[in-house]
Structure 1
Amino acid sequence: MGKINYNDISKIYDDVRDEEMTIINSFLDEVKISETTKILDVGCGTGNYTSILQKITKAEVYGVDASEGMLEKAKEKNQHIILKVGLVTDIPFEDCIFDFLYMTDVIHHIKDIDKMFLEFYRVLKNGGKVCISTQSHRQIDLRYMSEFFPSTAIVDKQRYPDIEEIISSAKKNGFSFLKIEIISEGEEVELGNKFLELLEKKGYSMLHLISDEDYQIGLNRVKCEMKNGPIKRKSAGGTLVWLIKNEKM
C-alpha cells in the first residue's frame, strides 16, 4: 500500500473524472446564479466542474486545490476561472466573499471536517449555500469496484465520513441542513477497454491504498470477466448534501 501522489495522477485524471451534468444541473436548480455570483470549487482538481460551470453561467468561478499539477490542467481548460493553491482547511481567500461553495469527491481526503466546515463558514456570505458531493457507506458497498477489489470498500469506508457524520459536523460549525439528493444510483454502466486501461494505470485513487496482491487479484477478475468483451454493471451513484450558512453561529 502507498500514498496517493496527485501531481502524478493529474496526468491521467481526466481519463477518470468527467464533469457530471447531473451535478451541474443540481447546482443550477438549487442556487440562483448570475454573472456577479461568486462560486468556489474546493478541491477543484483539473477543473472539469469549475470550467463548465463558468462557461454555462458566466459567474465568477474560483478554484482551490493542493496540487499544482491539477491546477495546471485546470488553467489549460479555461482562462476565466481564478485558481489558487491551497488546503481545504486553509482556503486562500478573504472572509465572507462567496455566495456558493461546492466540493465534489474530495471530503474523504479531509482528516478534520470540523475545521473544514469552520473554514467554509469563514469564506461564505451569510445565507451562502454548500453542496458536498460524496458517497454514503452503503453506496461504497454497491460499487462495481468493490466487487472486483473488495479491500477498496474497507479502506474507503475508513476514509469517507458517512452522511450523518457530515451533517452533524456541519450543524456544529454554523450550517443548517437543507436536503440530500441521491444521483445516478442504479444506472447501467458498460465497462470496456477504457475501464481496463485505467485499472492497469491505477487511475482510481483507492487502488493505491490496497495491497499489491489484492490489486492483482482484482485486475485478474476483471480481465477474466472481460475476455469476451465489455461487461455491464449498475452504478453505485452518489449523494449530494446541501447546507446553508446560518447568520449567527
Structure 2
Amino acid sequence: MKSFKDKSQESYNQKADNLEEITVEPHSHILDVACGNATFLKILSNKYDIKGYGIDISEKMIENAKKRCPDMTFEISSCEHTPFDDQMFDIITVCAAYHHFPDPKAFAKEASRIIKPKGQLYIADIYPSFIIRAILNPFVPLSKAGDVKFYAPKEIQRNFEEHGFEMVKFNNQDHIQILGFRRL
C-alpha cells in the first residue's frame, strides 16, 4: 500500500512532467518565484535550453537550489522586492506558492517591472472550491506553514490585469489551477 508521501510524490511528478501549459523559446530567461530547492527549474532545464533564476525567502532552500543547479542564479528574496533589473525575464513561474504571498498586489507590480513586454507569467496553485475557500480562508492565516489565503482564479486574474497583464490560459485539474498571463 502506498503511503501519503508516495501518492503525493507520484501525483506531483506527473504534474511537473506535464509542461505543455508553458511555452518556452530557446535561451529564455526564466525566474521561478518561491523556487524552493529548484526542482521545477531543473525539470525545465532538462527539457529546454534556458537561463534559470530562482528566488526564495528560505536561505536553506536557496542553498539546496545552488547545489542542484550550480549553473543557475539563485537569490534569497521576497517576491515583492527582487534584486533583478527591469524587463529581465521572458517567463516568470510561481508553483504552489501564491497562497503564501503576504502582498500579491506588490508581487504583481514587481512582476510587471521585471518581465519583458509580451513576457509570460504562469501561476500554479491550490484551487479549493468556493465553499472550501469560504470555510478555510478565515483560518488560513493561522497556519504554521505561512499560508495567507486561497484564491479564486478571478481574484488572481484581476490582480494581474491591474498591473498590465492579460490572462491567456486557464486550466483547473485535481484542485490545482494554472493561470497563464502575458505582459502587455
Q: 1:33 aligns with which of 9, 25, 38?
A: 25
Residue number in structure 2 paired with 1:172: 162
Alignment of 1:171-190 (within 5 A): 171-183=161-173, 185=174
CA offsets per residue over residues 146-192 of structure 1, 9 Å max, x none?
A: xxxx9799527962222211111111111101121123x2xxxxxxx
Between Structure 1 and Structure 2, which shows a larger proportion of strand residues?
2
User: Structure 1 residue 96 and structure 2 residue 34: aligned?
Assistant: no
Q: 2:51 aligns with which of 60, 63, 67?
A: 60
User: Structure 1 residue 155 and structure 2 residue 135: aligned?
Assistant: no
User: Structure 1 residue 238 and structure 2 residue 146: aligned?
Assistant: no
User: Structure 1 residue 70 and structure 2 residue 55: aligned?
Assistant: no
What is the TM-score with the length of structure 1 in the denominator? 0.61
Unpaired runs of 5+ residues, structure 1, are 1-15, 143-149, 186-236
What is the TM-score with the length of structure 2 in the denominator? 0.81
Change (3 A) 1:135 1:153: farther
CA offsets per residue over residues 126-164 of structure 1, 9 Å max, x none?
A: 00011100122318949xxxxxxx979952796222221
Letter in 2 for 1:91: T
C-alpha displacement at 1:46, in angstroms?
A: 1.1
Between Structure 1 and Structure 2, which shows a larger proportion of helix residues?
1
Q: Provide the rounded CA distance (Å) in 1 between the counterparts of 2:156 and 2:180.
A: 11
Change (3 A) 1:50 1:32: closer
- 1:94 counterpart SS class: coil
Change (3 A) 1:17 1:74: farther
Unpaired runs of 5+ residues, structure 2, are 1-7, 142-146
Q: 1:116 aligns with which of 70, 82, 107?
A: 107
Q: Do 2:137 and 2:150's aligned partners in 1 also have CA atoms closer than 8 Å? A: no
Q: Do 1:141 and 1:153's aligned partners in 2 also have CA atoms closer than 8 Å? A: no
Change (3 A) 1:46 1:158: closer
C-alpha displacement at 1:113, in angstroms?
A: 1.1
Alignment of 1:14-29 (within 5 A): 20-26=13-19, 28-29=20-21
Residue number in structure 2 paired with 1:6: none
Letter in 1 for 2:15: T
C-alpha displacement at 1:56, in angstroms?
A: 2.0
Change (3 A) 1:140 1:59: farther
After the TM superposition, which of the residue ranges 59-68 and 159-168 deviates more from structure 2? Answer: 159-168
Letter in 2 for 1:239: Q
- 1:159 counterpart SS class: coil
Number of residue pairs the alignment of both structures matches: 170
Q: Provide the rounded CA distance (Å) in 2 between the counterparts of 1:108 and 1:58.
A: 29
C-alpha displacement at 1:122, in angstroms?
A: 0.5
Letter in 2 for 1:22: K
Q: Provide the rounded CA distance (Å) in 2 between the counterparts of 1:78 and 1:109.
A: 24
Aligned-residue RMSD, C-alpha: 2.7
User: Structure 1 residue 83 and structure 2 residue 68: aligned?
Assistant: no
Letter in 1 for 2:39: N
With CA pairs under 8 Å and 6+ residues apart, which has the higher RCO, 1 or 2? Answer: 1
